[in-house]
Amino acid sequence: MPWEKSYAEAEVLEAAMRAFWAKGYQGTSMADLVAVTGLNRGSLYAGFGNKRDLFLRALKHYDQSYRVGFLALLRQDRSPREAILATFDAIAQGNDTMPGGCLMVNSAMELAPHDDEIARIIEDSMAEVEAFFANCLAECDDRVRSPADISETAKVLQGLMVGLLVMTRANRESPSIGAILTQVRSLLG
């Protein structure tokens, strides 16, 4: 009799994603994944492959559910400048129901230097964030910017965002958070 899954794949990916987000790839054991998903090891392996395969799917789930959805939500009903500011403000304020930082940034530090496939996924995601900033900057009508200035400013904003994500993960009370927000406002004029 063929094996039939009896779980919601999106729910399993969400639970696994949150475990990897909270503990990192190395810090998350298969026992942790069994506990958070409610599936036994056999079902996890049959449905998602090994731990790395599950991580890759969870990372892609994170990118689609959080990065794409987060930026789209922030862009709704906001001017381009306000969308950029809202991005930084949301990161600085954090969310007590989610692990700190960003799974992409956390994975960039932990895994990307040693795993080309994960590095590509992270680079693609970061390129989309940079494009978000560039598109917002190009739409700002209060300041005329050259394409080179837009590109450079988008890269700086992305770097500040990554720094902010790292700082909020390490210490939500860090005085560096306010300095980063001030620098973003200064860049936007």
Q: What is the pLDDT of residues 174-188, one digit of tens each?
A: 999 999 999 999 999
pTM for the whole thing?
0.89
Q: Which two tokens stand for residue 53?
A: 């395969």
Phi, psi torsion values for 86, nearest 5 degrees: -65, -35
For the segment 19-75, what is each residue's pLDDT rounded down to a tens digit?
Answer: 999 999 999 999 999 999 999 999 999 999 999 999 999 999 999 999 999 899 999
DSSP state of 173: T
CA quadruple 140, 143, 147, 153: dihedral, nearest 10: -80
pLDDT the model gives residue 172: 87
DSSP state of 63: I
Distance in angstroms (rounded) separating the CA atoms of residues 134 and 158 = 10
pLDDT the model gives residue 96: 75
Is residue 108 a contact partner of residue 47, using CB atoms and an 8 Å limit? no
For the segment 98-154, what is each residue's pLDDT rounded down to a tens digit?
Answer: 777 899 999 999 999 999 999 999 999 999 999 999 999 999 866 667 889 999 999
Token pair 């992409």 is found at: 104
Q: Which two tokens stand for residue 126?
A: 């970061």
Selection from 139, 142, 178, 140 nearest residue 160 by Cα: 178
Distances (CA, A) of 128 to 44, 124, 125, 152: 31, 6, 5, 15
Is residue 57 a contact partner of residue 47, using CB atoms and an 8 Å limit? no
Q: Which two tokens stand for residue 1?
A: 């009799």
Is residue 168 a contact partner of residue 92, using CB atoms and an 8 Å limit? yes
Distance in angstroms (rounded) separating the CA atoms of residues 113 and 1 = 43
Domains observed in the chain: 9-188 (1.10.357.10)
